Each structure stands twice: as C-alpha cells, then as structure tokens.
Structure 1
Amino acid sequence: MIVPVDITHVLPIAVEAGVRILEVYQNEDMQVNWKADASPLTLADRRSHEWIAQSLRSRYPDIPLLSEEEEALEYQQRRNWHTLWIVDPLDGTKEFIKRNGEFTVNIGLVHQQVPVAGVVYLPVHDIAYVAQDGWGAYRLRECRQVMNRIQSVDDFCRYGEKLPLAGTHERLTVAVSRSHMAPETAEFLAALERNWGSEVHPVTLGSTIKMCQVAEGVVDLYPRHGPTMEWDTAAGEAIIRYAGGVVIQATDRRPLTYNKENLRNPHFLALRPGFAHHVLP
C-alpha cells in the first residue's frame, strides 16, 4: 500500500517529545500521579502527549489519533477510522520513574487495522527505530545530531542501519518484561526449553525496547502474557514487521489487529526475522 505520510517528518516529532521528557527526567520533581488502573502518570507523559498530539494534528489534520494519555472515543465513533495514529507518549513510565533509561516514545501509523509505519525513540540513548511499509526498518543513532539531515528514505540508508542487524544464535535468547513478568511467561519459557532442547537465555528489558531488540535480531523472541494496550505495541510491531519479523497472538498464532472495540491486546509473541516457528510450545 501507499502510506499516506512521510515517516521522515514524524521522526523529529518523536525526538522533540524525547527532549521534553528528558527535561522532566533530569528534574527532581517528576510530578507522579496515579491513574484509575493504578498505572503511573508523570509530567513527562503529559508534556510528550501534548507535543505529539499538537504536531500530528497540525501536519496531518485528516488522520485521527488514539493516545494513551487522551480519552478514547467510543467505538461507534472510531470504527470507520481506516487510518489512524496510535501513540504512547512515554512507554515505560515505571522505568522512567526508576531512572533506568528504559523508556520510549512510540508513534505508530495503522491502516486497515495493520501497522504500516512507526517510530520508536529512546530519549536517554538518543536512538530511534523507524519503519515504513515499502522500504523496511532502520536503526538511527545520535538522532539529535543527524535528524536535520534526514529528508528522505535514502538518508536513512546513509545515516542509519538497516534491520535486522544480527542473525541466528547458538542459544535461544528471549526478552522478558522488567516490570510485568507474568506466571504464564515462566511456564512458556519452561515449555520452550523442552522444545528447544537446551537452556533458554532470558534478557530483562523495559518498554518497547524489547520489540526493538527483536527487530534487530539481538533476541529471538518476546513473549508477552501480561496486559498491554494497542498503544504499547503499534509502533513496535511496525518496526518488527518491516524488519522481516512477525507479531502473533500467543493462543491461535493469528496477527494482532488494531482500533478494536476493546483496545486491550491479547497475549502475543514477537518473533525475530527468520525465527524457527516450530520450536514454539
């Protein structure tokens, strides 16, 4: 399909959101509040959301937006949104509060319930993962320094690294959540070891960084059995998808879909490019 945006215009929006997040990150007072679902909300979440929502709506006024930090419209009002932004202004707020650097800015574009483009930006590390249908996925380092030079896909080829970066591994490497490890995940890892025939090597990470590591090929898979919402995965799935990997439901192996009536994701598995599906439990 022809993506109705140029993702090179979205990268600066994500990077500037990261700059605003870092201003709060480096301040003593993060102004932490708690939402109804017991998840944290900081001043950085709010500032990032305000900037991203304003910027996307200004540049793309005809594309609606679904954000974690904005009350979602009723399904009857958005069911005919064929193309939309799905945004998490600060994914990994718990890691942000811990100041361990493992948080991201996620901007995904979805068309017909499928991610077709995405930017995941890591403010502390100044690294972006960018993907778009038709030209693949890239990792870009030192974004704040080179961002103004990125005007086209050719510039991503010049300044970025095409994903995946790594190939097969001698041992099975699995990304697991730092703050949301579920009992079902431990059971899955045990079953995976039995199928694989040797020990599984878990790597603990926060936020959408796990999905980016899958896209890189650094880890083989990321099983998620805890609760997630569409804004937690849309951008990350775009990076995996256009690096050549897949994200599938854990139970029936069907793809995830977006802009559903219920915005909660089913449990899922994110698999690196070329991963051998036959070892899955």
Structure 2
Amino acid sequence: MLETLKAIAKEAGEVIMTMYERRDYKTSEKHDDSPVTTADIIASELIEDRLKQHFPHIPVLSEESDHENYNERRKWSSYFLIDPIDGTQEFIARSGDFAVNIAYVSNNEPEMGVIFWPVGEAIYYAEKGRGAYKEDAVERQKISVRQLQNPESDPLIIAISRRQAREPVLSRMQTQRDIQPLPTGSCSLKSCFIAEGKADCFLRLGPTGEWDTAASQVIVSEAGGRIVNENFEPITYNRTVSLLNPNFLVLGDQNVPWEEVFIARRPRFR
C-alpha cells in the first residue's frame, strides 16, 4: 500500500507542476474565504480516482471533496485522508513550498503518511513502526529529528510561516534561549523539515483540517518527534462532527522540556 500511495502522490504532483509552470489554473474562494485553485480540484479528483481503483473498499476523505456525514464516517474502521495541495497560498504566491498529502488512517490513528514536495523533487513517507524516510533525485535515507547536545539550553530552530505574522507565535514562547526562525511554507513541509532535523519545532495558530496533520503525524512520530495540541495532548481523527484541528505543535527532540518553551492554553473552568 505504501508504495502505491507514493506513486499516486508523485503522479498528482506531476499534474500540479504542469499547471504551476504553465500558470494554467484559476483561483477562487471557498465558503471559509480560504483560496482554492483548479489545480487543487484536479489533483483531488486524480488521487481519489487512483485510490478507488487500487483500494475500492476503503473510503476516501479529501479536503476538496464533499465530506460524508459524521453518522456515516464514524462507522469507518479505516480510510484515506488527503490534502491534494497543502499550501495553496504558497502555490498561488509561487514560492514552491506546497505539497501533496496522503494518509491512511486505521482505528482513528494515522498508520501511513506520504508527503510529496513537487518543486523540491522530494517525497517523505512513513509507516507506523517502520521508521521515516526521504527520497529525492540523489538518494533514499532514513530521517530523524535533530538531537540537541544540551536539550535544556541549545538554540532552537522554529519553522515559521512566510504568510502569517510572527508575533502571535513568538509571543507564545516563554523561553530565554536563542530562537532562530526558519521561514517556510505549508504545514506539512514544516513538519517534514522537523522530521529530517532542519528545524526543531513549529506552532500552528489558526484553522486547519485533519488532512493537514495526518500524513505529517506518522512521519514526525516515526522520526522521533510528535504532534500535539496546544495543551500538549494528542491530535484526534474522525472522532467528532467537525474535521477541524485545534491549534497544534510539532515538536522534535523529545528531551527538550517543551512545556517550558511554549505557553500551554489550558481550558478555563467557571
């Protein structure tokens, strides 16, 4: 299954790149005012079609397709969760920092994750219990989060958005240690950079969907990191009517005292 998912992600990425290079796409807004392009739609249709060909009995849930009613979804023991272009704003802005995300979720837990970065010609992937890997034009290598020599005091590299203000993120950091920003694009690429040791952490504030984290969660976890909500609790999948994520953290080296680095948002009780 994993090899098939990799091949599908690459095929979708090639179609996306053709439209990207030719500027052969149209842009509109969804009901939540977020942008969507014809490239998102075409890639989503391609991925869904290929998945149904290879795995006809497994449901598919895409950001860009109609979402099944929760009364139906809650019956699924497994399903594919996809984001055909994670980083649509980056695609439109032509930064190159966008990716194809495909995850296989079983019993409400991501089991396989594939993230293809078309512009970087690199694919990241993982299967639960089998490690995380990166393949590019040169090599295939096992990846892992950066291990700090002194987890309590070494400078931290934080992956941070090019499109959003930095202050809300940096204001949630309560550490006195040196913080080095690494500007980049989509959520999934930030997560992959943490998984391969280019960055140490990432805080996402604002709306995202479960398709934004599912593939990343497998890759980051298998690389030695974790993805949690802002209360340092696990992210859940297909357990509620809403498919929206809470604010979340992607954390590398688990020897870092992360709860001393980021200010948690604990629920308030009256």
Going from structure 1 to structure 2, the CA distance change for 1:52 and 1:264 (only over 3 Å counts) comes to same
Query: How do 1:99-248 residues align onto structure 2 when only pairs under 5 Å count?
Result: 99-142=94-137, 159-164=139-144, 166-168=146-148, 170-181=154-165, 184-189=168-173, 191=174, 195=175, 197-207=176-186, 208-248=188-228
> How much has 1:186 moved relative to structure 2?
2.9
Q: Bigger shift: 255-264 or 267-276?
A: 267-276
| C-alpha separation in 2, matches of 1:181 and 1:135 | 37
**What is the count of residue pairs matched by the alignment?**
255
> How much has 1:183 moved relative to structure 2?
5.3
Q: Does the 8 Å CA contact 1:182/1:225 hold for their aligned counterparts?
A: no
Going from structure 1 to structure 2, the CA distance change for 1:165 and 1:200 (only over 3 Å counts) comes to closer
| C-alpha separation in 1, matches of 2:145 and 2:72 | 41
- Paired residue for 1:12, among 7, 21, 32? 7
Deviations, residues 204-262 of structure 1 (Å, cap 9, x unaligned):
211111000111122111111211111111111111011121111112x1100111321
Q: Does the 8 Å CA contact 1:227/1:267 hold for their aligned counterparts?
A: yes
Q: Report what 2:268 is aligned to.
A: none
| C-alpha separation in 2, matches of 1:273 and 1:128 | 22
Deviations, residues 88-113 of structure 1 (Å, cap 9, x unaligned):
00110110011110000000111122
Query: Aligned letter for 1:35?
Result: K
> How much has 1:26 moved relative to structure 2?
0.9
Q: Report what 1:153 is aligned to.
A: none
| C-alpha separation in 2, matches of 1:82 and 1:11 | 22
The alignment-based identity, stated in percent, is 37
| C-alpha separation in 1, matches of 2:167 and 2:79 | 34
> How much has 1:275 moved relative to structure 2?
4.3
> How much has 1:165 moved relative to structure 2?
6.1
| C-alpha separation in 1, matches of 2:201 and 2:255 | 8
Divergent runs of 4+, >6 A: none
Query: Aligned letter for 2:252?
Result: R
> How much has 1:33 moved relative to structure 2?
1.5
What residue ranges of structure 2 are gaps of 5+ in the alignment?
264-270
Query: Aligned letter for 2:181?
Result: P
| C-alpha separation in 2, matches of 1:160 and 1:277 | 32
> How much has 1:18 moved relative to structure 2?
0.3
Q: Bigger shift: 53-62 or 29-38?
A: 29-38
Q: Does the 8 Å CA contact 1:103/1:122 hold for their aligned counterparts?
A: yes
Query: Aligned letter for 1:162?
Result: K
> Which secondary structure state, in structure 1, belongs to the residue aligned with residue 190 of structure 2?
helix
> How much has 1:171 moved relative to structure 2?
1.2
> Which secondary structure state, in structure 1, belongs to the residue aligned with residue 147 of structure 2?
coil
Please say if 1:75 is aligned against 2:55: no
Instruction: State the TM-score, normalizing by the size of structure 2.
Output: 0.89
> How much has 1:167 moved relative to structure 2?
2.8
| C-alpha separation in 1, matches of 2:98 and 2:191 | 12
C-alpha RMSD of matched pairs (Å): 1.7
Q: Does the 8 Å CA contact 2:133/2:143 hold for their aligned counterparts?
A: yes
Please say if 1:272 is aligned against 2:249: no
| C-alpha separation in 1, matches of 2:68 and 2:109 | 19
Instruction: State the TM-score, normalizing by the size of structure 1.
Output: 0.86
Query: Aligned letter for 1:205?
Result: T
| C-alpha separation in 1, matches of 2:162 and 2:7 | 28
Please say if 1:48 is aligned against 2:27: no
Q: Bigger shift: 170-179 or 235-244?
A: 170-179
Q: Does the 8 Å CA contact 1:166/1:218 hold for their aligned counterparts?
A: yes
Q: Does the 8 Å CA contact 2:146/2:253 hold for their aligned counterparts?
A: no
Q: Does the 8 Å CA contact 1:182/1:226 hold for their aligned counterparts?
A: no
